[in-house]
Every structure is written in structure tokens, then in C-alpha cells.
Structure 1
Amino acid sequence: MLDSSKSKHLSEERSSGLYDPEYEHDNCGFGFIANIKNHKSHQIIKQALEILENLDHRGAVGADPLAGDGAGILIQVPDKILREEMSKENIVCQTTVDTALPWFSCLEMRWSKARCMESIEKTVAKEKLAF
């Protein structure tokens, strides 16, 4: 039986695919959105950004607003775009299987870009990753 405290639109939903309204409940600030049929669209990105905004309104941020809380979105970058950008930096990648595009945000104002890159390169080497 559904909890009556749930919003009306959720309580009227039926199980569909992986979704089951019986699992609806409050949580501590986590959002997930995907197209179950693997259709790519900009709408999914818009919805993910809206989730991030809503998490902020729920107070899902760290105690220090300048430090950041690590919240973000994970997206798939089209291979063609990724390779075009890599070629601008003279980076050649033979395969897409093990290719990742990390995003780093060095918010610590005392750190320079060079110090951030040094830290990233050190970690990549320690983990034996290609950089």
C-alpha cells in the first residue's frame, strides 16, 4: 500500500519497467535520471541540472559553501566531439573503450592552475592511468 503522504502524481503511478511507486520515499539528497531505452537527448541534461538545483534547495550542500560538495552530473560525450577536442591538443586515442573525460574544479583559491595539474598528474601516475 502506498503511503498517503506521497504527492498525488506519484501515488497514481503504476509499476512500469524498473519503476515501482512502492519504492518512493524521502532521502538525503540523491537524484538519478536516465532514459530507460538509451535514447540520448538534451532534455535529460536539463532535467539533471534541475535535480542539482533542487538538491541545493533541500540543503544538500556542505557546511562550507566555498568548498563545494562534489555534486554534479555524469554525461556521455559524443566520440566525434571528444576526438575533435583531443586533436586540438595533439592527443591521439586509438580506442573509445577505456576513454574518460574527467572534469576537475580546483576551488581552493590558494592553489594555482599549475599546482592543481601537478596534483592531478601525481594521482594519475599513482593509479597507473594514461594521461
Structure 2
Amino acid sequence: MPMRYTQFPKKQGLYDPQFEHDNCGIGFLAHMKGKQSHKVVQDALHILRNLEHRGGQGDEVNTGDGAGILLQIPHRFFKKTCIESGINLPNQGEYGVGMLFLPQDEEARGACEKELEAIIAEENQELIGWRTVPVDDSMLGNAAKAAMPFIRQLFIKKNDYKMTEVDFERQLYVIRKRAEREIGSKVAEEESFYFTSFSSRTIVYKGMLTTEQVNQFYLDLNDQTFESAIALVHSRFSTNTFPSWERAHPNRYMIHNGEINTIRGNVNWMHAREAKFTSDVFGKDLSKVLPVVDKDGSDSSMFDNTLEFYH
């Protein structure tokens, strides 16, 4: 018979009712020896499904506040699938992958892609190609479908074999920040231009989904060659912002299961100090990545913006 409580249970074992809060569900999984496998992906998705009770839903049980998973770049999987798209990938670590939410409107999407390609060229990096992410939206609720972006991946080759991994990550960051400012500001309010991730290390699959829907929607995640040694999963309970595809977690660097009460003061301090920023690593590119914080993001994404910048 299921337990039924009309008030908090009494303190027992590791449980203490004073720590009761309503917020998101998070999970993390890693192979201790760094061995990549599809089992890590499967186990992480199992954890995510078990976090269903921590995620929010509206009046539709098949429209979630958000759910997703962060994984390592699955080189073996991409090597196989990109050939089908006419993309010849270099060795692992020699390319970056951007996961983008784009406008559903074909003309608007094409304009975004063309301008992004121009920015990549201006930053002296080489675009290898685009891949449309295969999805199945048949299980989504009407609200999730109505807001759903067109989802594509772009692949960028490191233009200098002497460039370190960190330097390449920094270059991808510069490209993304430029694109967000120069392209995102032109996109219609009801459309999307958003990078869930843009990295040579990790990739994020997320959306306005329930925990059960993540690998039903993103077909890539079910392929046996999709492998990772780490995984972060998140089931979102939207407490102080509206649900959206963009505001689902994981963010690019972190997952979070609470609210940051000092967020507005922190953001204001960051903006106030940007005029005095100097950087030996960014050099002349520093101005391209400002402002650091996206003021339209959630408190978690604002923290993620800051963490990414300092990293």
C-alpha cells in the first residue's frame, strides 16, 4: 500500500524534514577509469527517468518543464553518422560540435546559418558541415510542439594542429558569443537561436521534455555507438521562470537544483565590472565575449555563463 502523508515524516536516518524543498532533480555518473561506453549513457537515462517526480508539468502530462543530458562528444557515433551526411570528421579532439536550436522557418533558419558560417570564417576556423538531428516528436504535448525549435549540429575543424584543447575551446566560445549577439538579436521572438552546447569535449541534448521523453525524442541517444565516460542529467521544476526549450538543463557547464536568491545583485556587479576586464588569454578577443551574462536566461544559466567565462 502506498505511503500517504498529510505532513512531513518525522526525522529518521539521513532524512530531516527541515531540509525539505521543492526543486529540480539532478544526477551525475562517471566511469572511474574514464572508459567510454553506451552503458554509461543508458544508466544515466535510467537515473533521469527515476527523477520524473522532481520535474514539473503543466496541464499536459506530455509537456515537461524540461529534461536533458550532458555527455562527452561521441566520436565513434559521429564518425559513422556524419559520413551519411557527407561530413568527413578529423580525429577525436580535432573538431568541435555545436548543438543548435534554430528557427522552424526555413528562410529564417538559412539566414542564421549563413551568418554563423561567416563568423566562423572571420574567426579563422573551418566549417566541416551541418547535420540535422533526427528526432521523434510524436509523444510531445501540444505546448512543447508549438515551441519546438529546428535542431541541427555543426562541425568545426581545428584550424591549427598546434592549438591546445583549451585554446580551441576558447575559440569556440568566442564564435558562440559573437553569434549570440550578432545573430540572436535579429531572430523573431517566437523563434529560436540558441546553442545548447558548442565544444570539442561535451554535448548537450535537452528540451521542453519529460524525463521519459529525452531518448524517445532524441534518437541519437539510443545508438549503441553513442558512448561517454561521464553524464549529467537534469529534470527541471520551473519555480521562478517559465519553461522553455532553451531553459531546460543541463547548461553547458553545470546542472542546478535550486534558486539563487542573490542573482540580480551578482549580475549587476558583473556588468559593472566588465569595463575594467583585462585578459592575457582572450587578448583582443575579450570584447567579443561581452557581456558575459545573458540577462534573459534563468538564474542557473546566468551562473553557468559566469562559470564558463572564468573557466
TM-score of the superposed pair, with normalisation by structure 2: 0.26
Match status 1:55 vs 2:48: no
Aligned partner of 1:100 among 97, 100, 106: 97
Match status 1:45 vs 2:37: no
Against the structure 1 CA distance between its residues 115 and 81, is the aligned structure 2 distance closer, same or farther, given a 3 Å change threshold?
A: same
Q: For 1:87, what is the secondary structure of its paired residue?
A: helix
Match status 1:6 vs 2:3: no
Aligned partner of 2:29 among 16, 28, 33: 33
Please name the residue that 2:68 is paired with. 72
Q: What letter is aligned with 2:56? A: V
What is the RMSD computed on CA atoms of the aligned residues? 4.1
Output the CA distance in 1 between the equivalents of 2:71 and 2:110.
26
Give the Å deviation of 1:32.
1.0
TM-score of the superposed pair, with normalisation by structure 1: 0.51
Against the structure 1 CA distance between its residues 67 and 113, is the aligned structure 2 distance closer, same or farther, given a 3 Å change threshold?
A: farther
Instruction: Identify the structure with the greater strand proportion.
Output: 2
Against the structure 1 CA distance between its residues 52 and 5, is the aligned structure 2 distance closer, same or farther, given a 3 Å change threshold?
A: same
Give the Å deviation of 1:76.
3.6
Q: What letter is aligned with 2:49? A: E
Q: What letter is aligned with 1:96? A: Q
Gapped runs of 5+ residues in structure 2?
Answer: 1-10, 128-153, 155-311
Deviations 1:12-71 (A, max 9, x none): xxxxxxxxxxxxx9863111111122123333222211222122222x235475664442
Q: For 2:33, what is the secondary structure of its paired residue?
A: coil
Q: Which has the higher contact order (CA 8 A, sep 6+)?
A: 2
Q: For 1:75, what is the secondary structure of its paired residue?
A: strand
Gapped runs of 5+ residues in structure 1?
Answer: 8-24
Identity %: 29
Q: Figure out how many residues of one structure are paired with residues of the other and give that number.
A: 106
Give the Å deviation of 1:5.
3.5
Output the CA distance in 2 between the equivalents of 1:62 and 1:126.
40
Against the structure 1 CA distance between its residues 123 and 53, is the aligned structure 2 distance closer, same or farther, given a 3 Å change threshold?
A: farther
Output the CA distance in 2 between the equivalents of 1:103 and 1:117.
11
Output the CA distance in 2 between the equivalents of 1:61 and 1:119.
35
Aligned partner of 1:89 among 85, 94, 100: 85
Q: What letter is aligned with 1:31? A: G
Aligned partner of 1:114 among 106, 109, 133: 106
Output the CA distance in 2 between the equivalents of 1:118 and 1:31.
36
Output the CA distance in 2 between the equivalents of 1:87 and 1:5.
54
Output the CA distance in 2 between the equivalents of 1:50 and 1:127.
39
Q: For 1:73, what is the secondary structure of its paired residue?
A: strand
Q: For 2:30, what is the secondary structure of its paired residue?
A: coil
Q: For 1:80, what is the secondary structure of its paired residue?
A: helix
Q: For 1:39, what is the secondary structure of its paired residue?
A: coil
